[in-house]
């Protein structure tokens, strides 16, 4: 039996000191939710993804268009961020296919050092803030290496301790109740008590998809943009159908991660910021009192 | 009694404040910090070591079909050198052109275009990947650099092949435009797809693509592929040329190794 499982079987039950005297005492049931490996690799991932996203937008700004296939279409790319003049006024826009969206102030045209400047993603979203492709690439590579090394530690540990099998694959019972769980989620009713001891099925499937599909896809698509790695591993170009498709998938997968993070952070806030932060910093999570969430 | 959760909360808040302050202070000049500079400068070397360990010396970049060739192959960087000597040679079909090959070699030589064209040639349809993110497919014909190196005999002390070019970059430097140059190592120089290209799509290079002679290094990014080559110099070190980083673009901040 692994250490984590043992800890889960021995919850620490204590009275919450934070509840002022005189008010109703709430029973706090702390369980060890996250091992030290999960906690450390989680926060390194947060740092890496932030730096990778911002330096990635810097790199994207050098050629802010998306193409598919083996080569670039300079005349009419499938999607582009650009700027032009409308009635004598500079406007920023995003064009996807034949649909044009005015994004002045954020995309295509934004303030930089007090002046409206033509740039795809605005200064506040890129690293460095000014247009500097060389430094942006260096930052991207440093954190790409850290991300991959950290990810390998996490994956090896997760397989060795059966963390993924235990925590990322829904149990039979969970599959049977998947309908009710989706409804509870939609109503923002989060499990308490015994049901909160483990991830629910939606959590398990989401973390599985992010750790084993989305992030590996992002890394592979990044590698497929490297002429050196393409020569070493020609299958990279074949699986993606060309370097430009890989570049677009890299970009879209990055925004898939952004979408995941937005939902993840929103649910962390809604289901108890302090309890969640405590569990990802110290490992201890309060599963609270049992209640019938299907009632 | 000490309130455990409140102190933890306070600690978390303080930690977040410190991190936030660091991030804000850092945005200004964190890239001037010597350690940060070293890490950012060193990552290119790590990329190079790992890729070279993965790549066999002969492993080819993918080659494409004629039907894949870009009809609008993008030309960037210099597209029309100002150099008077260059312009007069261009006006006369580069008949007066001579490629100088010297430095750490046994037999320095000068090669005319006719002599270069008389050497065994290689034609390849390859993908040109720009550091900016775009790709074009082009058909190139030229003399393998390996054959030129064999002809001059590379001395054992040579480490790098430095390309001096006719074009200059006007980057506002008060001392005048900066001469363009670049460099690759002998591993890249001896790769079978590394050629001194003189034809594109079966016709002599147009000026915008680097006439009369430009480099193709197919396992690296476009900024390594110098155009308008004037002189090839074998060197043990490039620290005394330009700003010492091994190329015009490297001097402006790009990584020397451009396999990624």
Nearest Cβ partner for A227 among B4, B9, B220: B220
Residues of A in contact with B72 (CB under 8 A): 74-75
Q: Which residue of A has its CA nearest to B72?
A: A74
User: CA distances (Å), A125 to each of A12, A53, A61, A66, A131, in order?
Assistant: 43, 9, 11, 19, 11
| Dihedrals phi, psi of B166, to nearest 5 degrees | -80, -25
Residues of A in contact with B74 (CB under 8 A): 72, 74
Does B51 contact A229 at a Cβ distance shorter than 8 Å?
yes
How many CB atoms lie under 10 A from the CB of residue B232? 26
Token digits of residue B213: 């002679």
Which of B135, B249, B250, B253 is the best mutation test for A, with the most CBs of A within 10 A? B135
Q: What is the DSSP letter of A196?
A: G
Nearest-CA distance from A228 to chain B in Å? 4
Does B254 contact A247 at a Cβ distance shorter than 8 Å?
no
* Confidence category of residue B7, pLDDT binned at 50, 70, 90: low
Nearest-CA distance from B118 to chain A in Å? 29
Question: What does the alpha-carbon distance between residue A136 and residue B40 come to, in Å, rounded to a whole number?
Answer: 10
Nearest-CA distance from B64 to chain A in Å? 10
Average pLDDT, rounded, for chain B: 91
Residues of A in contact with B131 (CB under 8 A): 62, 133, 137
Q: What is the DSSP letter of B206?
A: P
Does A17 contact B5 at a Cβ distance shorter than 8 Å?
yes
Give the contacts of B82 (CB within 8 A, at least 6 positions apart): B167, B168, B177
Q: Where are the domains of chain B?
A: 62-251
Question: What does the alpha-carbon distance between residue B90 and residue B83 come to, in Å, rounded to a whole number?
Answer: 10
Please answer whether residues A257 and A49 qualify as being in contact, where contact means their C-beta atoms are separated by less than 8 angstroms: yes
Residues of chain A with pLDDT under 70: 1-26, 290-295
Residues of A in contact with B51 (CB under 8 A): 226, 228-229, 232
Tally A–B CB contacts below 8 A. 129
Question: What does the alpha-carbon distance between residue A111 and residue A129 come to, in Å, rounded to a whole number?
Answer: 11
Adjacent-strand bridge partners of B199 = B141, B204
Give the contacts of A60 (CB within 8 A, at least 6 positions apart): A120, A121, A251, B133
Does B219 contact A228 at a Cβ distance shorter than 8 Å?
yes
Mean pLDDT, range B42-64, rounded to an integer:
95
> Burial, B9: exposed, middle or buried (Cβ in 10 Å; 0-12, 13-18, 19+)?
middle
**Apex A228 CA angle, A213 and A225, nearest 5:** 45
Nearest-CA distance from B76 to chain A in Å? 13
Nearest-CA distance from A28 to chain B in Å? 12
Residues of A in contact with B60 (CB under 8 A): 231
What pLDDT is recorded for position A11? 47
The pLDDT tens digits of the residues spanning B221-257 come to 999 999 999 999 999 999 999 999 999 999 999 999 9
Q: Where are the domains of chain A?
A: 71-120
Nearest-CA distance from B222 to chain A in Å? 10
pTM metric for this prediction:
0.89
Name which CATH class applies to B62-251.
Answer: alpha beta
Does A134 contact B39 at a Cβ distance shorter than 8 Å?
no
Token digits of residue B138: 């082009």
Give the contacts of A185 (CB within 8 A, at least 6 positions apart): A200, A202
- Cα A201 to chain centroid distance, Å, stands at 18
Q: Which residue of A has its CA nearest to B71?
A: A73
Does B127 contact A145 at a Cβ distance shorter than 8 Å?
no
């Amino acid at each position: 039996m692994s250490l984590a499982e043992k800890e889960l079987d021995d919850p620490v039950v204590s009275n919450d000191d934070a509840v002022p005297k005189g008010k109703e005492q709430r029973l706090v049931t702390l369980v060890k939710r996250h091992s030290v490996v999960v906690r450390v690799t989680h926060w390194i991932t947060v740092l890496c993804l932030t730096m990778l996203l911002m330096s990635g937008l810097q790199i994207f700004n050098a050629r802010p268009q998306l193409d598919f296939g083996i080569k670039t279409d300079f005349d009419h790319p499938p999607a582009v961020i650009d700027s032009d003049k409308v009635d004598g006024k500079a406007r920023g826009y995003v064009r996807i296919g034949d649909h044009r969206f005015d994004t002045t102030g954020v995309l295509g045209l934004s303030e930089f050092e007090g002046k409206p400047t033509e740039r795809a993603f605005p200064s506040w979203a890129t690293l460095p803030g000014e247009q500097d492709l060389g430094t942006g690439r260096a930052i991207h590579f440093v954190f790409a290496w850290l991300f991959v090394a950290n990810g390998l530690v996490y994956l090896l540990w997760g397989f060795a301790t059966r963390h993924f099998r235990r925590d990322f694959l829904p149990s039979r019972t969970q599959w049977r109740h998947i309908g009710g769980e989706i409804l509870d989620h939609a109503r923002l009713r989060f499990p308490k008590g015994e049901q909160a001891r483990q991830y629910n099925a939606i959590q398990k499937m989401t973390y599985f998809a992010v750790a084993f599909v989305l992030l590996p896809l992002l890394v592979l698509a990044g590698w497929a943009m490297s002429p050196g790695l393409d020569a070493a591993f020609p299958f990279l170009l074949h699986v993606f159908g060309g370097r430009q498709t890989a570049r677009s998938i890299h970009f879209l997968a990055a925004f898939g991660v952004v979408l995941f993070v937005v939902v993840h952070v929103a649910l962390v806030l809604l289901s108890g910021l302090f309890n969640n932060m405590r569990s990802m910093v110290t490992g201890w999570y309060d599963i609270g009192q049992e209640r019938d969430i299907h009632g | 009694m000490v309130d455990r959760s409140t102190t933890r909360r306070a600690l978390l808040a303080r930690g977040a404040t410190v991190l936030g302050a660091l991030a804000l202070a850092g945005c200004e000049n964190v890239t001037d910090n010597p350690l940060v500079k070293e890490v950012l400068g060193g990552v290119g070397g790590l990329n190079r070591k790992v890729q070279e360990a993965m790549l066999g010396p002969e492993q080819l970049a993918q080659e494409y079909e004629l039907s894949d060739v870009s009809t609008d192959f993008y030309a960037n960087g210099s597209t029309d050198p100002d150099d008077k000597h260059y312009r007069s040679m261009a006006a006369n079909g580069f008949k007066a052109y001579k490629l100088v090959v010297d430095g750490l070699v046994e037999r320095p030589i000068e090669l005319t275009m006719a002599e270069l064209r008389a050497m065994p040639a290689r034609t390849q349809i390859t993908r040109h990947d720009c550091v900016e993110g775009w790709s074009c497919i082009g058909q190139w014909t030229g003399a393998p650099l390996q054959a030129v190196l064999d002809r001059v005999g590379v001395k054992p002390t040579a480490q790098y092949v430095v390309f001096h070019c006719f074009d200059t970059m006007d980057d506002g430097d008060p001392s005048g435009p900066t001469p363009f140059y670049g460099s690759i190592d002998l591993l890249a120089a001896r790769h079978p797809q590394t050629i001194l290209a003189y034809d594109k799509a079966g016709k002599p290079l147009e000026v915008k693509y680097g006439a009369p002679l430009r480099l193709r290094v197919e396992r690296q990014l476009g900024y390594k592929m110098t155009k308008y080559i004037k002189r090839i110099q074998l060197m043990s070190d490039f620290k005394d040329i330009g700003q010492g980083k091994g190329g015009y673009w490297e001097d402006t901040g790009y990584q020397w190794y451009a396999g990624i």
